[in-house]
Structure 1
Amino acid sequence: MPKTTDLLRSATCLLAPAIAACASHAQQPGVAETTKFSDPKLPEASGMAVSPTDPSLLWLINDSGCTAELHLEGRDGKPRGTVLVRGAKNIDWEDLAAFRWKGRPWLLVADVGDNEAGRAEVQLYLVPEPAVGGGKEPPQEVEAARTITFRYPDGPRDCESVAVDEADGSILLLSKRDGTPHLYRLPLEGPAEKAELLGLAAEPPVPEGSPFHPFGRQPTAMDLSPDGKTAAVLTYLGVFAIRRGPGESWPQAFARPWETIGSFRLFQAESVCFSADGESLLITSEGVGAPLLSFPLK
């Protein structure tokens, strides 16, 4: 029998065209609402990444209960095409990362959501970026080049925040529902049956003036800057930067207090990525017609 959470998510995907995302956000210097996504196929945007091939394009994925598809959107909010990941399942897709590896552009789809901490194993799909650019729609299907099935060393974890460190050849994962987020690592290559626990992160802050939210501190998305020196983490109330100093490891950087970049009021913010030049952070929310916000980095 389907779990209540699964039924609710499936209903959201079916009814989303009638649900409008709350588009208001905190008015603060430099923050811009650049557009709204007009694609009715994006009811539950849970991950977003700038295309490594064309910085004017964004890849997005939907949350659980929706199809195993990649959605290509313009920075103008208009849909550019949909790509089915052949053979993959959307059990609970929660984040998306774009990166370059061995001279090729890649996407990593993180099927790592686990609201009830009941999944013994979770999956990551490494997908060569479908051909984009020149105004052409991407191909209709793509196949994952590698599926990483893994578990955590300390039991099941709900996770919505995943990023790729290109220089280190590793994948970083930040847990969601722990009081103190746990930071894990997996290699891009080689055996990856169990994630490595790197350490505990600092407790995510609540931006000043934010309304009460029972899950406001929980991390919902993550990305790394193009130069690999800064991590961005999203919660339901704000977006934060973790800057790594010279010779500093990610566990050391995450353990320090996080820098607040900005706050907002969105329906359910679950997607963040760096702009191609690394000078701003882009975030969006679940819901059809969700806004795309741009936060300048200080």
Structure 2
Amino acid sequence: MMTITKISAFVIFLAGLCLTVISCQSVSLGSRETAVVPVRPDTYLPAFENGRINSREITESSGIAASKCQENVLWTHNDSGDGPFIYAIDLQGRHLGTWKIPNVSNFDWEDIATFRNKDGTCFIYIGEIGNNRRRRAESEIFRITEPLIEGAGGSNRRKPVITPKAEKLRFVYPDVRQDAEALLVHPTSGEIYVISKLLTGAAGVYNVQADFDSPNAILAKKIGELSLPAVPNGLVTGGDISPDGRRVVVSDYFSGYELVLAVDEENFDEIWRSKPQPFDIGSREIGEAVAYGADG
């Protein structure tokens, strides 16, 4: 968890083989900056700034996710201490609305994800997964139906739009208490993944059963480790799964990395065996989040 209050900057990456920004873009946001990620890291051209978050309410953005139901809408939240608010912005960083989730608190929110089910209903997942001092035995994931942007333009923290109550999922790790900043939801299966954040080694990748009806804490399953080509190699601050479910993007404070599932592989969990490929995410300070755009 960082306590830096900088205005976020948007950064766009263009692939050398792409003809337009829209056809190959994905969206990534550091805690202070945002980037657009093409299909292959080795095709990146230098990043450039696309916009800046203009809301004074979004002072420490710690997660970002693209809506899968509303065009050109990004969802974000502040780190700990802000209250249970989520914010919508457009691709230029303009504030579209503020929502308050009535039955949760923000102790240490670290990431956000979106999901569209087979019926076409869109959801927002929020990871209450920060645990810097490892004092908390349980972590939580909240889920709400994605709010509509229409009619929310004048909302703010003083007068937010109130969402329905969130569904809550409590979980524990199978090994030791973990600090984590990356929450990922598979776009097809709805499987939930949490990636730990470590200074002393590779990050752990955990699958959390999406049982929001369970009265008990879910035991997460460790399915792999993620070692970034960086020092330290386990300092994962954000992540996302591409809309086609075949790529994963993760970030640390200063760089981005992409993992790609082999063409002939259908088991998504095999992606964690692939080697993360770094790409230039542009100049940013203490980046804490990354995401693909709705078009992948």
Place the TM-score, normalised by the shorter chain, in its bin: 0.7 to 0.9
Aligned CA distance change for structure 1 residues 22 and 145 (closer, same or farther; 3 Å): closer
The aligned runs of 1:164-183 (5 Å cut-off) are: 164-177=185-198, 179-183=201-205
After superposition, the C-alpha distances for 1:172-201 in whole angstroms (9 at most, x for unaligned) are 111111511111001223646111111222
Larger deviation: 189-198 or 67-76?
189-198
Percent of pairs identical after alignment?
25
Aligned to 1:271: 289
Kindly state the Cα deviation for residue 232 of structure 1 after the two structures are TM-superposed: 0.6
1:158 equivalent in structure 2: 179
Q: 1:162: Cα distance to partner?
A: 0.8
Pairwise CA distance, 1:161:
0.6
Check 1:243–1:220 CA distance in 2 against 1; reply closer, same or farther (3 A cut): same
In structure 2, runs of 5+ residues without a counterpart are: 15-43
The offset of 1:265, in angstroms, is: 2.8
Q: 1:133 to 1:30 in 2, by over 3 A?
A: farther
* Alignment partners' CA distance in 2, 1:76 and 1:24: 10
1:224 is matched by which residue type in structure 2? I
* Pairs aligned (count): 257
Partner Cα separation in structure 1 for residue 167 and residue 75 of structure 2: 19
Counterpart AA for 1:182: G
In structure 2, do the counterparts of structure 1 residues 236 and 182 end up closer, same or farther at CA, with 3 Å as the change threshold?
A: same
Q: Give the Cα–Cα distance (whole angstroms) in 2 for the partners of residues 74 and 24 of structure 1.
A: 14
The CA deviation at 1:254 is 1.8
Structure 1 unaligned spans of 5+: 207-213, 279-298
Larger strand proportion of the pair: 1
Out of 175, 180, 184, the residue aligned to residue 206 of structure 2 is 184
Secondary structure, counterpart of 2:174 in structure 1: coil
SS of the equivalent of 2:68 reads coil
**Partners of 1:183 and 1:251 within 8 A in 2:** no
Q: Which residue of 1 aligns with 2:33?
A: none
1:221 aligns with 2:245: no
Q: State the TM-score, normalized to the length of structure 1.
A: 0.78
1:21–1:222: structure 2 CA closer, same or farther, 3 Å change rule? closer
Give the Cα–Cα distance (whole angstroms) in 1 for the partners of residues 293 and 168 of structure 2.
27
Query: CA separation in 1, counterparts of 2:130 and 2:206?
Result: 15
2:71 is the alignment partner of 1:87: no
- 2:294 alignment partner, SS class: coil
In structure 2, give the amino acid aligned to 1:163: L
TM-score normalized with structure 2 length: 0.78
In structure 2, relative to structure 1, the CA distance for the partners of 1:95 and 1:275 (3 Å cut) is same
* Structural RMSD (CA): 2.7
